[in-house]
Amino acid sequence: MSAPAAPALFLPADELARLELALQQGPSLALQAQLAWALRQSAGARAQGLAEQVEQGLAASGWPLPAQAAWRARMRLVRAELALQAMDFEAARALLDEALGGLQAQQDEIGCADAHHLAASLAADLGEVQRVHDQLGLAIACARRAGDGERLLFLQAVLGRADTFRDLSTARQTWAALLGLDIEGLSPVVGAAVADLRGLVAGMAAEFSPAIAAMTRAFELSLQTGQLRRAIALASNLGRAYWGMSEFQAAMEWLTRGLTLAREAGWPASMALCMAQAGETLRRLGRRDEARAQLQDCLRMLGAQPASRTAALALKYLAHTEQDDGRTEPALQAFDALMQRAVHADANDLKIDAQLGRARALLALGRHAEARSAAEAALQLAHGQLETTVDLLWILGEVTLAETGAPQQALRYYLEALERAARVEAFVPPPELLEAAARAHALAGAYQQAYELAQRAGVLRQRRFGEEVGQRSLALHTHHQIERARAESEHLRQLAESEAARFQALRGTHEVLLHLSEVGRELTAELETDRVLAVLERHVHALIEVDSMAVYLLDEGGTQLYCAFGMEDGQTFVDPPIALDDARSYSARCVREGRELILRMSELPREHYQVPGTSAMQAMMFAPLRVGERVIGVITVQSLHLPAYGERETLAFRSLSAYAAIALDNARAYRRLSDLQRHVMAQEKLAALGSMVAGVAHELNTPIGNSLLLASTLLGGAREFNARLTQGALRRSDWQRFADQHVQGLEVIERSMDAAAALVRSFKQVAVDRSAEQRRAFALAQVCEQCAQTMGLALRRAGLRLSLQVPAELRMDGYPGEVGQVLLILINNAMAHAFEGRENGQIELGAQALSPDRLALWVADNGQGMSAALQERIFEPFFTTKFGQGGSGLGLSICHNIVETLLGGRIRVSSEPGQGSRFTLELPLQAP
């Protein structure tokens, strides 16, 4: 089993649905691993369970060890992200470190990129701003080395977002190319990230309308791709964008939507972000008590991560709330705490906000020097932030006037603020700033300038009122456009769902047909009745609701049905035989009439017969098992529930009964054929044994006859020698001749008896090997020599010569008797068919090694050969060219079965008319 490739960061909904559907087809560790990763944000509990299952199953997966290690590390990443979302930062960091170590050990660059991205998220939640940038830089480097362009764009958009919080103008320049990309031309995952960045940049630049459009699209794409964290953050930022357009109702709607998503997911950090933004919205609506309570709840929830950006935002909003309420001391304390966190996080925007708030609070408390110091420090940080710079110069003017009472010095700051504002054509200074400058001019005696500034302030106030009305109108228009787009999107979604449902229905029917096709192939491939019934039962349950199922087959006489298979409520049963003329039996009726019966309990007559001890079935189907015009039995399925069997189930049942009939009839025919084959094989073995005995007897005749002749001769010589010994007429030469003759004769007898003993041993070994499928290690050359000895007499009588070309070193572990049987059949086949009308026939029995674990063994002749048509049928049972002349047509079929089943090899023939034939066996050195 191969391991899956590295997954995408997130999956669009349609791809996720395909993954889910594939997993429903059967358990798959690869699919579980991919799903665990894809669902880590959108369905955390399920992702956790899947990740644990994958980690437990990796050892038995069969995947390469590096792949196992990489996916084990990725499952740790899933669990780390889930711990992060639950604000269990210690567990998240431990799991993340473990995962990153494993991924680095396997040099999995994509996995390392994902791990560093998650480390950046952890650092962001902990308020570690520099670490966020460091980890994202490492993630981008890994994605670039891996050549993953999509991850690279995604991570660059995430880094651009982090840079925007640090310095808006720099971020805008750095990521200008990324901001200019066409969102719709990107993948949904990358599109969400780029649209999010574009919306954030526009929002921080107070360009609220384009910010809302970009963030709304990013929100939709995030939900489509399972980026729930991003979606919640976007809902919060959309609330802030609607503040800027004074559309607080829409702001609250978005914040409520984000809070609902966070609560459904059970993520405290995301809930806290939405609560903080909701608190600020309530402040801007003037509902300060509710705002204060909401923000304090948010800070309590974030007690475990006081350094996080969300906690800092909540603290800032709480400080503004206290300031609006005239509670200057608590406001100052909150701004001081915000400043400490901003310094720790190195977040410029928070530092500026904190110092600006401190300056206002300190001014209200009369601590002028500290107020000036705070405003000047903020002014040094506020590069490129026009509105903030104007506010700070205004504060410095107020501080100067309060501290020195010198309007001329204060005017210097007021006028610089107005000059800065005038440099940007679209920027309108606050009317309150103009009024402050007018008062300073009046105190300095410059009444004309004071009057002009006061008039400008009045005009601006009137204009601002008109702009606020326009902004609200624009916000309302934007809101309506978004709602209309959402309605159109919903309409399209419903259309898509309708089409998807229609497609699912068609696919369902198509899958049923495909399934039935697979069932047909599987059923008809089985040749044993028990296996056919087991496969049938499994597929019936997969396709049809079944509480009871039975198969009845006609007996040989065709007078009754016997129960071949029965199962009810998960328990097997065997019914007694049913007479074919039984009027009460629906199974018998189905066979008699040769048609389907689909019955419901409510439609049956009151006197309906039910087998004692069985459940009262509410729906029943009976189908005849028909093969051509013959009916061989009946199959029935029954259900306790209504409605159980509709058009789909009827179609499936009809097809299953047709396949089952063919398979069961094939099994019957195969059983009869197998019985016949076993009988013929037994006869073949007996014939071969008879031939072998005759051959051995003939071979034993010569050494035994020679020994008897010599023994008789030696006995006569001994008697003669004994008589001469008695007469005392022996000379030394007589003694010497007698000894020489007996030594020579006994040596010949010894050689003859050794040959006879070897023949007997060979015969005994062949007899033992052929008496059963006895497995042992053996030398192939020895088995071939035994076959040559066995066939020696028959070959000589036929005038044929057998040559052996078998290396002595070839050894096998298997069944020598079966190898010998195959060789004897092939030699006999050559003797019977190859040499009609030919002389000087030669048969070669040879072998050679093909590889360290396989060999080739062949029987070749120089006979008349075979045509191509004959070669195609030569291994078919009962096919012979000598029917009626002693040929059974089973010899080569038996060879084929032995070679390709017991011996685990394959046999093939190559021949041309007039060029002889060659039967080649490719066999493993170790039989299965």
Question: For 817-866, what is each residue's pLDDT tens digit?
Answer: 889 889 988 998 888 888 887 778 899 999 999 999 999 999 999 998 98
Sequence-ordered strand ranges (E) for 145-299: none
CA distance 163 to 159: 6
What's the whole-number mean pLDDT along residues 166-185? 89
CA geometry: angle 692, 696, 698, nearest 5 deg: 120
Ranges 188-192, 305-309, 533-537, 686-690, most confident: 188-192
Nearest CA-CA partner of 804 in 827, 821, 829, 770: 827
Of 165-179, 503-517, 533-547, where does mean pLDDT reach its minimum?
Answer: 503-517
Task: Give the model confidence (pLDDT) of 549-579 as tens digits.
Answer: 899 998 888 889 988 888 887 788 888 899 9
Cβ neighbours of residue 434 closer than 8 Å, sequence gap 6 or more: 418, 453, 454, 456, 457, 460
- State both tokens at 391: 């506010």
Of 78-92, 271-285, 452-466, 630-644, where does mean pLDDT reach its minimum?
Answer: 452-466
Sequence-ordered strand ranges (E) for 516-617: 548-554, 560-568, 571-572, 578-579, 597-600
Phi, psi of 312 (to 5 degrees): -65, -40
CA geometry: angle 476, 482, 486, nearest 5 deg: 140
Q: Which amino acid is at 175?
A: W
Cβ neighbours of residue 593 closer than 8 Å, sequence gap 6 or more: none
Of 164-178, 227-241, 479-493, where does mean pLDDT reach its minimum?
Answer: 479-493
Three-state secondary-structure class, residue 219: helix
Nearest CA-CA partner of 255 in 284, 269, 270, 275: 275
Predicted pLDDT at 697: 63
- Predicted confidence band of residue 471 (pLDDT cuts 50, 70, 90): very low
- Predicted confidence band of residue 772 (pLDDT cuts 50, 70, 90): very low
Nearest CA-CA partner of 282 in 296, 301, 295, 263: 295
Predicted pLDDT at 767: 47
Predicted pLDDT at 230: 92
Q: Which amino acid is at 156?
A: Q
Q: Which amino acid is at 855?
A: L
How is the beta sheet containing 841-851 ordered, strand by strand? Answer: 800-805, 841-851, 854-861, 917-924, 906-911
The span from the first CA to the last CA of the chain, in angstroms, equals 23
What's the whole-number mean pLDDT along residues 271-295? 82
Q: Which residue has the tokens 């049809």?
A: 544
Contacts 24+ apart (CB under 8 A), 259-265: 261/228, 261/231, 261/232, 261/235, 262/232, 265/41, 265/44, 265/85, 265/228, 265/232
CA distance 863 to 915: 7
Predicted pLDDT at 217: 93
CA distance 914 to 813: 37
Q: Check residues 270 and 151 and name the one with the higher pLDDT.
A: 151
Of 636-640, 676-680, 733-737, 776-780, where does mean pLDDT reach its minimum?
Answer: 676-680
Q: Is the pLDDT of residue 478 over 60?
A: no
- State both tokens at 341: 């966190």
CA distance 886 to 880: 10
CA distance 832 to 830: 5
Predicted pLDDT at 474: 45
Rg (CA), the chain: 48
Cβ burial 88-116 (10 Å sphere, 16+ → b, else e) = ebeebbebbebbbebbeebebbbbbbbbb
CA distance 752 to 170: 109
Cβ neighbours of residue 895 closer than 8 Å, sequence gap 6 or more: 822, 825, 826, 875, 907, 919
Counting Cβ atoms within 10 Å, is residue 393 exposed (0-12), middle (13-18) or buried (19+)? Answer: buried
Q: Which amino acid is at 380?
A: Q
CA distance 452 to 631: 111
Cβ neighbours of residue 896 closer than 8 Å, sequence gap 6 or more: 875, 907
Three-state secondary-structure class, residue 911: strand
Check: CB of residue 828 under 8 Å from CB of residue 798.
no
CA distance 685 to 697: 18
Q: Whole-structure pTM over 0.75, yes or no?
A: no
- Predicted confidence band of residue 768 (pLDDT cuts 50, 70, 90): very low
Check: CB of residue 591 under 8 Å from CB of residue 554.
yes
CA distance 317 to 308: 15
CA distance 475 to 467: 12
The mean pLDDT value of the chain amounts to 81
DSSP letter for 620, please: E
Predicted pLDDT at 357: 87
CA distance 53 to 29: 8
What's the whole-number mean pLDDT along residues 338-353? 79
Sequence-ordered strand ranges (E) for 402-547: none
- Predicted confidence band of residue 454 (pLDDT cuts 50, 70, 90): confident
**How far is residue 256 CA from its own chain's centroid?**
37
CA distance 570 to 547: 8
- State both tokens at 276: 């903080």
What's the whole-number mean pLDDT along residues 32-49? 90
Task: Give the model confidence (pLDDT) of 884-913 as tens digits.
Answer: 454 556 678 788 888 988 899 999 999 998
Q: Which amino acid is at 617?
A: M
Our CA dihedral for 132, 135, 139, 144, rounded to 10 degrees, sits at 100
CA distance 896 to 518: 28
Element (H, E) at 851: strand 841-851
Cβ neighbours of residue 174 closer than 8 Å, sequence gap 6 or more: 160, 163
**What is the DSSP code string of 366-405?**
T-HHHHHHHHHHHHHH-TT-HHHHHHHHHHHHHHHHHHH-
CA geometry: angle 334, 338, 343, nearest 5 deg: 155
Cβ neighbours of residue 688 closer than 8 Å, sequence gap 6 or more: 770, 821, 824, 825, 828
Task: Give the model confidence (pLDDT) of 408-445 as tens digits.
Answer: 888 888 888 888 877 765 566 778 877 878 788 788 88
Q: Which residue has the tokens 């073995």?
A: 685
Q: Is the pLDDT of residue 526 over 80?
A: no
Three-state secondary-structure class, residue 800: strand
Q: What interhelical angle do 149-166 and 109-125 show, nearest 10? A: 20
CA distance 802 to 795: 8
Number of H helices, E strands in the chain: 32, 14
Q: Is the pLDDT of residue 53 over 80?
A: yes
Q: Is the pLDDT of residue 257 over 60?
A: yes
Three-state secondary-structure class, residue 289: helix
CA distance 898 to 283: 90
Cβ neighbours of residue 928 closer than 8 Å, sequence gap 6 or more: 904
**What is the DSSP code string of 177-215?**
HHHTS-GGGS-HHHHHHHHHHHHHHHHHTT-HHHHHHHH
Alpha helices in 526-567 (DSSP H): 529-543
Q: Which residue has the tokens 């328990």?
A: 571
**What is the DSSP code string of 97-124?**
HHHHHHHHHTT-HHHHHHHHHHHHHHHH
Phi, psi of 74 (to 5 degrees): -65, -35
CA distance 566 to 552: 9
CA distance 591 to 608: 19
Predicted pLDDT at 475: 45
Q: Which residue has the tokens 């709607």?
A: 253
Check: CB of residue 362 under 8 Å from CB of residue 323.
no
